[in-house]
Amino acid sequence: MTRPDIVVPPAGSDDEPGQTAPTSSSARVVMGSGDVSRALRRVAHEILERNKGAHGLVVLGIPTRGVALARRLVQVMAEVEGVTVPVGALDITMHRDDLRRQPVRAIEHTDIPAPGIDDRTVVLVDDVLFSGRTVRAALDSLADLGRPRAVRLAVLVDRGHRDLPIRADHVGKNLPTSSSERVQVLLSEHDGVDEVRISGGNR
């Protein structure tokens, strides 16, 4: 349900400024469909290896594209382990630190799997790690829902330029960028294609 005082932003906008931008003819593709698939498969294997299997795992995607990525990771885990890892979505809207400056936000869907998160290892999934502020908001949101045994972070792309001391545990691709560039993640579930693009900047 969308609150009456919060307006839904245009489709394709993203949670973190500088993270995803509208498609541009000058954008260059840095990851194609095969690259995205291989990166996610590697990340899924890393998560299982660190956890010593799928037991006690819960995977939560940060809307919007983090949810699609979380579901893909769980599909790979099911292929490897033969079990279904609980997967859901975690809205961070009301925990963002820029609500005073940008109060017009969409309330996204939170879907916590039936086992809950108490005493479980929660893997947060996002498309791009940039300033770290989205992840900080996700941690605050998670704290309202329970007490996990551990929280880990998996991202498709880490582009650097952190504002906060936050680091990803599992990264599909480290992508050096200038702060003036924009990173755009396209996924077939939302955009009809799997690609990562960079646009803008003075490189």
Is 200's pLDDT higher than 70?
A: yes
- Domain membership of residue 3 (yes or no) is no
Instruction: Please report the DSSP string for 38-103 in residue order.
Output: HHHHHHHHHHHHHHTSSTTEEEEEPTTHHHHHHHHHHHHHHHHHSSPPPEEE---GGG-TTTTT--
Its pTM stands at 0.85
> What average pLDDT does the segment 52-74 reach?
97
Q: How far is CA 121 from the centre of its chain?
A: 17
pLDDT of residue 81: 96
| Mean pLDDT, the chain, integer | 86
pLDDT, residue 4, reads: 36
Report, as an integer, the average pLDDT of 70-78: 98
SS3 137: helix
Q: Is residue 70 part of a domain?
A: yes
Number of domains within the chain = 1
CATH number of the domain encompassing residue 81: 3.40.50.2020
| CA 125 – CA 138 distance, rounded (Å) | 10
Residue 157 covered by a domain? yes
Q: How confident is the model at residue 104 (pLDDT cuts 50, 70, 90)?
A: low
Report the sign of the C-alpha dihedral through residues 34, 40, 38, 17, in that order.
Answer: positive
* Residue pair 44/80 in contact by the 8 Å Cβ criterion: yes
**Which pLDDT band, with edges at 50, 70 and 90, does 98 fall under?**
low
| Predicted pLDDT of residue 26 | 81
The better pLDDT of the pair 106, 155 is held by 155
The model's confidence at residue 142, banded by pLDDT at 50, 70 and 90, is very high
100 CB neighbour count, 10 Å cutoff: 7
pLDDT band at 32 (very low <50, low <70, confident <90, very high): very high
Q: How far is CA 49 from CA 31, 36, 42, 77, 124, in A?
A: 25, 20, 10, 11, 16
Is 171 part of any domain? yes
Range of the domain at 69: 28-200
Query: Does any domain span residue 10?
Result: no
Q: Has residue 1 been placed in a domain? A: no
What are the b/e assignments for 65-77, b being 16+ CB within 10 Å?
Answer: bbbbbbbbbbbbb
Amino acid at 187: L
At residue 202 the predicted structure's pLDDT band, cuts being 50, 70 and 90, is low
Which residue from 173, 146, 163, 172 is spatially nearest to 18, judged by alpha carbons?
163
| Cβ proximity of 185 and 193 under 8 Å | no
Share above pLDDT 70 across residues of the chain, in percent, rounded to a whole number: 81
Q: Is residue 71 part of a domain?
A: yes
- The residues with which 173 forms a beta bridge, in sequence order, are 157
| Ranges 3-12, 70-79, 185-194: which has the least confidence | 3-12
Q: Answer whether residue 182 is part of any domain.
A: yes
